[in-house]
Structure 1
């Protein structure tokens, strides 16, 4: 299991030690398995820089005062002479929740300045037990209305109507639902364009934690 990080507001630091669990009874012929080593890329400076931006981004996107995260893998690829693309998987839990939620991340690490850029995050559908579930028609309609309203604000005077024809919902533990959707944003006489949406809904908070959308060719 990767090293744990704790974010409270914008502060990043190590998690305090947990009380030791009562050990299971093991027969002399069946020694207890060795603990899993912390994930590492082999470069501690890179690991620390990437973990810091990933956990800070998770705290920002989940809009929570306290988040605990474990970076479980680092995959490093050369992007240029000075840059490295770093991606992998991890787990997080919010506030006092006991359940871990899986996520994937990807960021660019600058070897000259030993810094990592803002990461791209996919939350939910990563850990065992997180799977695709039936779409909630009420949440989908609410999401459509939310994005249409945002488009009206972005393009003043152009009333938008969404036609979503490819929708999937994935669990993020028992708390989150990640909804991915693609379709058309119809602006009436002003034409239409492809739209892609990724959103996170938090059952506990009863609120949308993240709603992202892309228009045009990038949304295909």
Structure 2
């Protein structure tokens, strides 16, 4: 499988400050101009050579990827900068993006490391909802299921499940919760459990959260149905 690095513009150019409300956008259109509140710059001149054309494409993909990452956080201001991105051929149409970056949330001065994986559709010019690993290299500590942070994480994830599967009953039970330091202010919380769909059966569930300890609030809660995936992007990039 071919793997090539994405040609990144300088960090200052790739940084994105985006004002957004809570909500999930499954795809970010790389061909769509930035919305109000987005500060980004991909290319200011028409490409005059093959290299410049590739860099312009890379900048477009990077801008869409940054927007997709920023859209996962329930925070007014999210700033994202990419460190490195590898591109793999996933199919004739799709490219898999694997890399690392840093993000800064709201009024925090703290940059948080993250790894990611996403798919880029070369026909539609969209980047899929990225799988994120926030924080690097820290030890996961067990969290009691009765702890407030475990209960509120479960409640938030169950609400998201209920909204997605509104036509059928669904409940979520967390069975294992662990916390990982993601800088001095934020706590990454990972959980596994079972989603009960009544007569439709059960499914394994993985829940991922980022908790702002200073403001005592969740800034990110997401979930996946199915068994835990293979090691995420942070580990894959670190092992190169």
TM-aligned CA deviation for residue 111 of structure 1: 4.2
Aligned partner of residue 61 in structure 2, secondary structure? helix
Aligned residue for 2:27?
A: none
User: Quick one: which of 88, 93, 101 aligns to 2:104?
Assistant: 93
Aligned counterparts, 1:1-220, within 5 A: 3-4=11-12, 5-9=15-19, 10-13=37-40, 43-111=54-122, 115-126=125-136, 130-135=138-143, 137-151=147-161, 154=165, 158=169, 160=171, 162=173, 164-186=174-196, 192-215=202-225, 218-219=226-227
Contact 1:7 1:55 (8 Å CA) reproduced: no
- Report the TM-score, using the length of structure 1 for normalisation: 0.68
Question: Which moved further from structure 2: 144-153 or 71-80?
Answer: 144-153
Query: Matches of 1:159 and 1:145 in 2, distance apart?
Result: 12
Q: Where in structure 1 are there 5+ consecutive unaligned residues?
A: 15-41
Q: CA deviation digits over 1:135-170, x for unaligned, max 9? A: 2622112222333455556456847351x3332222
Larger Rg: 1
Pick closer, same or farther for the CA change 1:146–1:8 going to 2, 3 Å.
Answer: closer
- Report the TM-score, using the length of structure 2 for normalisation: 0.63
Pick closer, same or farther for the CA change 1:11–1:159 going to 2, 3 Å.
Answer: closer
Contact 1:88 1:104 (8 Å CA) reproduced: yes
What is the total number of aligned residue pairs between the two structures?
187
Aligned residue for 2:24?
A: none
Question: Which moved further from structure 2: 143-152 or 5-14?
Answer: 143-152
Aligned partner of residue 135 in structure 2, secondary structure? coil
| CA-atom RMSD in angstroms | 3.2
Higher relative contact order (CA 8 A, sep 6+): 2
Query: Matches of 1:176 and 1:156 in 2, distance apart?
Result: 35
Aligned residue for 1:25?
A: none
Q: Where in structure 2 are there 5+ consecutive unaligned residues?
A: 1-7, 20-36, 42-52, 229-240
Pick closer, same or farther for the CA change 1:205–1:56 going to 2, 3 Å.
Answer: farther
Contact 1:177 1:200 (8 Å CA) reproduced: yes
